[in-house]
Amino acid sequence: MPVRRRKIAKNPTAVQAPPLPTPVAIERQAYGGYGVGRCDGLVVFVPRTAPGDVVRVRLVAQRRHWAVGEVVELLTASPWRVTPPCPLYAECGGCHLQHLAYARQLEVKTALVRDSLARLGHLPEVPVAPTLPSPQPLAYRNKMVYHYDAARGALGLLDRHGQRILDVPRCLLSDPRAEAAMAEVRALAAALPPLRQVLQQVQVQVGQRTGDVLVTLVVSAPLPAATAAALWQALQPLASGLCLHHKRRQTPALFAGDTVVVGGRGVIYERFGEHLLPLTPHTFAQVNTAQTERLHQLLREAAALRGDEVVLDLYSGSGALAFALAPYCARLYGVEVQPAATRLAQQQAQALGFSHCTFRTGKVERLLRRYLAAGLRPDLAVLDPPRAGCRPEALEALTRLRVPRLLYVSCSPPTLARDLQRLHQLGYDITGVQPLDMFPQTYHVECVAVLTRRSA
């Protein structure tokens, strides 16, 4: 039976409505960064509030039994509250929990994981460990994507209603090297009309262990050669490479067209543990390098490989998790739906000397069925799906392979709860869940779940 999750408008548009007649006392924190209270039998979700707050609220979205509100007045402040370090926090949509001390943020995330497993997955007995803190609560992001508004000359993030681009001179979550490159792009857009007319977004990736910086400008039309050369000349002291991506279709995805290297290198490198891994403009990688290394260590400890096992890495991307486990197993098979990511993983496996690693492109459920037909019997499967989680067909195909142990890596407690419930029904026990704070100051949390197959 599928889990139903209450859908809350992420960016409701405020309407001109009078405040509720009764103040709302915030009782708990909910997924999405909302504080939750009640008023006259109505459950009210209020962003940027904390348990213990008493607030006067104006409703901006309403259903039969619940509503979303905005704070009109803070009547009583929670003891959990602190002054947000960012002066743009009240307006910006990038952060959700800066009004909480960092230790409280970790407690909130642990509670959210436990609540998701119990309420959505009906798994109240699953042990959930305290959330592991990030080594850096600020300046941890190794990648940022900024939007550009040519009419206002604004380069930054969407406001928390998703309605306009908020000019962000400096983001406190971003690596300072990325912010230096963003500041230079902001100045260049003001000085170069050809760039200002076509610039849409800017992506900056930083190799925090290597010092590499890759800038990618997303444009609506190609730039004149002279403008492109001027851009690289100005950015060269700050960047290892500059790419231009001509976005030919307006889609929610960042990339939808052709990418060319204007200057320097179109590939940079980051070191995760002992391995140096490539990053291109299109590469998916966790945004918190130090915490990613901790994630890899957790997986190695949970896997407890002896060296003779066969391992499946599902939703393998460009192979970061695979390479963390590859030195400790006999065979590793990666499955990824994006061909470019598969090619990058295979190239890197060859560069690292991992001849026992094979990466294939395709849907997980289809390739699992082929592995079953070929007689493959894995000892361990690692799942790291996108935020939407795994398709039911993939979980069922995995079960037919009778894999004795699973490690499920998730960035979404609600979809993790749904998939763990399904795996439990299919014959797996969840021995524990370890949350990690990969995304400080936001409501997002990474989790590693450990599962073992019940004996028949």
Which fold would CATH assign to domain 117-134+288-453? Rossmann fold (3.40.50)
Domain boundaries, the chain: 24-81, 117-134+288-453, 143-272
Q: What is the pLDDT of residues 70-115, one digit of tens each?
A: 999 999 999 999 999 999 999 999 999 999 999 999 999 999 999 9
Residue 411 catalytic?
A: yes
| CA 105 – CA 126 distance, rounded (Å) | 21
CA neighbours within 13 Å on the CB side: how many for 294? 19
- The tokens for 293 are 């290394």
Report the sign of the C-alpha dihedral through residues 403, 419, 415, 116, in that order. Answer: negative
Q: Cβ distance 177 to 202 under 8 Å?
A: no
Residue in 282, 278, 279, 228 with CA at minimum distance from that of residue 255: 282
Rama region for 96: left / alpha / beta (φ>0; ψ in -120 to 50; rest): alpha
Given this model, what pLDDT does residue 81 score? 95
Given this model, what pLDDT does residue 251 score? 86
Strand bridging mode 310-314 / 331-336? parallel
| CA 168 – CA 145 distance, rounded (Å) | 12
- CA–chain centroid gap for 239, Å, is 24
Geometric angle at alpha carbon 57, from 56 and 62, rounded to 5°? 155
Query: Is residue 216 helix, strand or coil?
Result: strand
Q: What is the pLDDT of residues 298-346, one digit of tens each?
A: 999 999 999 999 999 999 999 999 999 999 999 999 999 999 999 999 9
Q: Cβ distance 260 to 233 under 8 Å?
A: no
Residue 112's alpha-carbon distances to 116, 317, 438, in angstroms, are 6, 27, 15
Name 383's bridge partners. Answer: 314, 408
Q: Which amino acid is at 218?
A: V
Q: Which residues of the chain have pLDDT under 70?
A: 1-16, 456
Given this model, what pLDDT does residue 455 score? 82
Geometric angle at alpha carbon 175, from 174 and 181, rounded to 5°? 95
DSSP 8-state assignment for residue 116: I
Rama region for 160: left / alpha / beta (φ>0; ψ in -120 to 50; rest): alpha
- Token pair 């029904």 in the structure block, residue: 425
The CATH label, of 1.25.40.10, 3.30.230.10, 3.40.50.10860, 2.40.50.1070, for the domain at 143-272 is 2.40.50.1070
Residue 315's alpha-carbon distances to 281, 381, 384, 428, 449, in angstroms, are 19, 11, 6, 20, 16
Given this model, what pLDDT does residue 16 score? 57
Q: Cβ distance 200 to 261 under 8 Å?
A: no
Q: Cβ distance 234 to 185 under 8 Å?
A: no
Given this model, what pLDDT does residue 6 score? 47
Given this model, what pLDDT does residue 273 score? 84
269: phi then psi, degrees, rounded to nearest 5: -130, 150
The CATH label, of 3.30.565.10, 3.40.1010.20, 2.40.50.140, 3.20.20.70, for the domain at 24-81 is 2.40.50.140
Given this model, what pLDDT does residue 20 score? 86
Given this model, what pLDDT does residue 10 score? 47
Q: What is the pLDDT of residues 288-304, one digit of tens each?
A: 999 999 999 999 999 99
- The tokens for 393 are 């067909």
DSSP 8-state assignment for residue 79: T
Annotated active-site residue in 86, 92, 329, 411:
411
- The tokens for 195 are 């760039």
- The tokens for 304 are 């407890």
Given this model, what pLDDT does residue 77 score? 96
| CA 240 – CA 214 distance, rounded (Å) | 6
Domains 24-81 and 117-134+288-453 share a fold: no
Spell 57-77 as b/e; 16+ CB within 10 A means b. Answer: bbbbbeeeeebbbbbeeeeee
